[in-house]
A and B are shown apart, each in its own frame.
Chain A
Amino acid sequence: MLQITDLHAAIGDVEILKGVDLSVSAGEVHAIMGPNGSGKSTLANVLAGNPSFAVTSGDVLFEGESLLGALPEDRARAGIFLCFQHPIEVPGVRLDHFMRAGFNAIRKSKGMDEFDVLKFDRLLNERVDVVEMDRNLTKRAVNEGFSGGEKKRNEVLQMAVFEPKLSILDEPDSGLDVDALRIVAAGINQLRRPDNAVILVTHYQRILNYVVPDRVHVLIDGRIVRSGGKELALEVESRGYDHLGRSAEAITASG
């Protein structure tokens, strides 16, 4: 589904991703772990097409076609969804209107009928339950005055509504208490299907107790330094990133 090859990306003059290789197949959950500043969020944003970041070399193929140069809206229409680490407050735009605008834009691009308000509301009410969110929140301005937990749930709600092929979750666990974490994780699990894939970016192993990954990658200083099964997350938990960081330097030095 997704093939990343030697991806380099920068913000301004600062290179953040320094050659990332990653391959994700349908039905898989990949966890990307790494310390602060390692480039995890950059990777997530670059995949979604955030124009603040520039890809300087390498390539990203999604279902066989290069994503580089594709607009964020075109990526969304192709089935890529970014769950924001810091969801944006948009005063003056109602959440349900916002979601319906995106939902219909995606359907329209595929030549499918747009949903009217009633039809979309039915869908929305159904999906709201997946994340145990207060329905009234969907009548409020996007994320405005939402608590941290409500913002994260809202991201997963949108994921449930859009039903993307590839979901990129940028630290969906940050700032959540245990109950909220369980709800968010349950939401993510409910949406897992054999024909879609998840990239879950996280700083901590904790969420991986709920969302069990097929592969775990450790990103340090813009490179994936280790890949493995779910047990790698436990190793990170017990030994920390320093240990892996040093081994990364050792690899770089020797290579």
Chain B
Amino acid sequence: MTQRTATQEEAYLAASASFESNGASQDPAWARELRRDALDAFRELGFPTARRGNEEWKYTDVTPIARVPVRFGPAGTAPRVDAEAVANTALGGPSWPQLVFVNGRYSDALSSVDALPSGVTAASLAEAMRSTPELVQPHLARFAEYRDNAFAALNTAFLHDGAFLHVARGAQVEAPIRLLFLSTDDGEETVDHPRALIVADRESSASVLESYASLSAGERLTNAVTEIVVGAAARLDYYKVQRQSEQAYHVTNTHVALERDSWFSSVNVDVGGRLTRNNLNLLTLAQDCSCSLTGFYMVTGRQHVDNQVIIDHAKPYTTSRELYKGILDGRSRSVFHGSIIVREGAVKVNANQVDKNLLLSDQAEADTKPAFWIYCDDVKCGHGAACGQMDPMALFYLRSRGIDERTARGLLTRAFLSEVIEGVANETLRSQLDGLVAATLREWLGDVG
């Protein structure tokens, strides 16, 4: 298949028709209606282009994404993946509960949900839509607005499988719950639309690790939507780690809504993907909630990573802190576009945003663009952005102590990300992410001591 964008859009529409007529036809009427509505929206929107003067997509050209051949296997089936491959790929502790998806399809056999603590429901979304619609329907597609976002629309148009996580009121969950999305060329599919809905009821506390990895290196599109609702006085720590192949296009729309007195943290990690675009939208629904949004990305070759973070301080006494750091080598490119909106009447908002990039090559490029929309006087907002090369004096300092240049570069590069790594609340993940950074640097620079 070598169709261009316009005909590719038609291919998605055709794929939708066959999707509706097989496995997904058993879904409740409201879900089918939601898909129809989203498909109409996608038909209307088409894939975004920079040519429309579209600021949101100014630095990221999605043409190659739109060109990925569209093939779907029948709903409800997934290519076989053996448990060992899952164990080798999964992050986190081996005893942590895990839902596994292969090419966007839930795999009961590969998942381990026996160890779920009380108060936690973790299930396939398709299953939850049928069995507990009262928990799903009020939240699904409520915050992930698809009427003005083609990728969210496309995901919603194929909404069926996915993860549903529910943490009951007051439940205190220690071990992070894992959602592992694997992609493989062993199936027919070239496109998957992972979907996750995470609802943390009031006064609960939990953490979630959502990770993406490729088991083979073919060209494919992963177009994910995750919706997170954090109830009053609830706490949720959310980790998203993307390690897809260098031929993968990875697009995610993550929407977070915070109720009063809640806390939310996210750590967003990208070390894979040919082209990655993360939209992270956070909305404060009530006062006195706080969030910490951090992340790092490491790109080389011709990789492109684009993080768009929008924090909507709709309510007073809300706090946000953002810290993103990037390491770029080769001819890679990064975009960080951080918007902070402070609505009228949202007094005493405190928002701080930092994005820093370390360029290891002359040909790498980092674009960082803070945007503040402040409609209230009594607020405190700050931002810092930096793109630079390694400090030659720091390099000389290390070398003057006998450390060879390559090791010194590795140490300083790793140190650059330590601020983000050290902020990772979960100890197991902290050390695994540190290991991921070290392994990536070894791949780039060779053995660095």
Query: Which A residues fall within an 8 A CB radius of B?
Result: 48-52, 71-73, 75-77, 81-82, 84, 87-88, 90-93, 98-99, 101-103, 105-106, 109, 141, 158, 162
Contact between chains at A90 and B412 (CB < 8 Å): yes
A88–B397 contact, CB under 8 A? yes
Quick one: given A50-B396, A72-B396, are A99 and B419 in contact (CB under 8 Å)? no
Q: Dominant SS at the B interface?
A: helix
Taking CB atoms, residues of chain A closer than 8 Å to B400 are 48-50, 72-73, 75-76, 81-82, 84
Among A71, A82, A92, A162, the most chain B Cβ lie within 10 Å of the Cβ of: A92
| Further 17 A-B residue pairs, CB within 8 A, beyond A72-B396, A90-B394, A101-B403 | A49-B400, A50-B396, A71-B404, A73-B403, A76-B400, A76-B402, A77-B402, A87-B397, A88-B394, A88-B397, A90-B397, A91-B418, A92-B419, A101-B411, A102-B402, A105-B402, A109-B402
Q: If A76-B402, A101-B449 touch, does A51 touch B415 (CB 8 Å cutoff)?
A: no
Q: Which residues of B contact A52 (CB under 8 A)?
A: 392-393, 396
Tell me which residues across on chain B come within 8 A of A99, comparing CB atoms. 401
B405 contacts partner chain A, Cβ-Cβ < 8 Å: yes
**In the assembled complex, B36 has its CB within 8 A of some CB on chain A:** no
B401 touching A76, Cβ below 8 Å = yes
Shortest Cβ gap from A171 to chain B (Å): 16
Query: Please, which residues of chain B bring their CB within 8 A of the CB of A51?
Result: 392, 396
Q: How far is the CA of A149 from the CA of B398 in the complex (A)?
A: 20
Given contacts A91-B419, A93-B415, contact A102 B401 (CB under 8 A): yes
Question: With A91-B418, A91-B419 as given contacts, are A84 and B403 in contact (CB-CB < 8 Å)?
Answer: no
Residues of A within 8 A of B321 (CB): none
Name the interface residues of B169-212: CB closer than 8 Å to any CB of A.
none
Digitize B407-420: 1 where CB-to-A-CB distance is under 8 Å, 0 elsewhere. Answer: 11001101111110
Across the interface, which residues of A come within 8 angstroms of B378, CB to CB?
A: none
Q: Which residues does chain A contribute within 8 Å of B417, judged by CB atoms?
A: 92
Q: Which of A72, A82, A88 has the most CB of B within 10 A?
A: A72
Residue B399 at the chain A interface, CB threshold 8 Å = yes
**In the docked arrangement, what's the CA distance between A77 and B404, Å?**
10
Query: Given contacts A73-B403, A76-B401, A101-B449, is CB(A91)–CB(B415) below 8 Å?
Result: yes
Least Cβ distance of B130 to chain A in Å?
Answer: 49
What separation, in Å, do the CA atoms of A105 and B391 have in the docked complex? Answer: 22
Assembled-state Cα–Cα distance A49/B403 (Å): 13
Cα separation A102 to B415 with both chains bound (whole Å): 16
B405–A73 touching, CB < 8 Å: yes
Q: Is A73 in contact with B404, judged by CB distance below 8 angstroms? A: yes
Q: Do A71 and B411 touch across chains, with their CB atoms under 8 A apart?
A: no
B412 proximity list for chain A (CB < 8 A): 90, 93
Whether the Cβ atoms of B396 and A71 lie closer than 8 Å is no
Contact flag A92-B401 (CB < 8 Å), given A52-B392, A52-B396, A72-B396:
no
Residue of B nearest to A93 (CB): B415
Query: Which of B392, B394, B397 is the most central at the interface, judged by chain A CB atoms within 10 Å of its CB?
Result: B397
Q: In the assembled complex, which residues on chain A have CB atoms less than 8 Å from the CB atom of B405? A: 71, 73
- Most A-side CB within 10 Å, residue of B396, B411, B416, B418: B396
Asked if B397 contacts A92 (CB within 8 A), the reply is no
In the assembled complex, 23 residue pairs joining A and B whose CB atoms fall closer than 8 Å, in A order, are: A50-B396, A72-B399, A73-B408, A76-B399, A77-B402, A82-B400, A84-B400, A88-B391, A90-B398, A90-B415, A91-B418, A92-B415, A93-B411, A98-B411, A101-B401, A101-B403, A101-B407, A101-B411, A102-B402, A102-B403, A103-B402, A105-B401, A105-B402
Q: Complex Cα distance A81/B398, Å?
A: 12
Q: Nearest residue in B to A108 (C-beta to C-beta)? A: B402
Known contacts A51-B392, A90-B415, A92-B416; A105 and B403 CB within 8 A of each other:
yes
**Which residues of chain B have C-beta atoms less than 8 A from A50's C-beta?**
396, 400
Bound complex: CA A75 to CA B400 (Å): 8
Residues of B within 8 A of A105 (CB): 401-404, 407, 449
Neighbour of B414 across the interface among A49, A76, A92, CB < 8 A? A92
A119 to chain B, nearest CB (A): 17
Residues of the A chain whose Cβ atoms lie less than 8 Å from the Cβ of B414: 92
A98: which of B393, B401, B418 is its contact (CB, 8 Å)? B401
Q: How far is the CB of A157 from chain B (nearest CB, A)?
A: 12
Which of A71, A84, A141 is close to B399, meaning CB atoms less than 8 Å apart?
A: A71
**How far does the alpha carbon of A181 sit from the alpha carbon of B414 in the complex, in Å?**
35
A102 touches B396 (CB 8 A): no
User: A48: which B residues are within 8 A, CB to CB?
Assistant: 400
| Chain B neighbourhood of A93, CB < 8 A | 411-412, 415, 418
User: What distance in Å separates the Cβ of B438 from its nearest Cβ neighbour in chain A?
Assistant: 13
Contact residues in B for A72 (Cβ distance below 8 Å) = 396, 399-400
CA distance A75 to B399 in the complex (A): 9
Residues of A within 8 A of B398 (CB): 90, 98, 102
User: Within residues 317 to 343 of chain B, which ones have a CB less than 8 A from any CB in chain A?
Assistant: none
**Of residues 39 to 93 in B, which have CB atoms within 8 Å of A's CB atoms?**
none
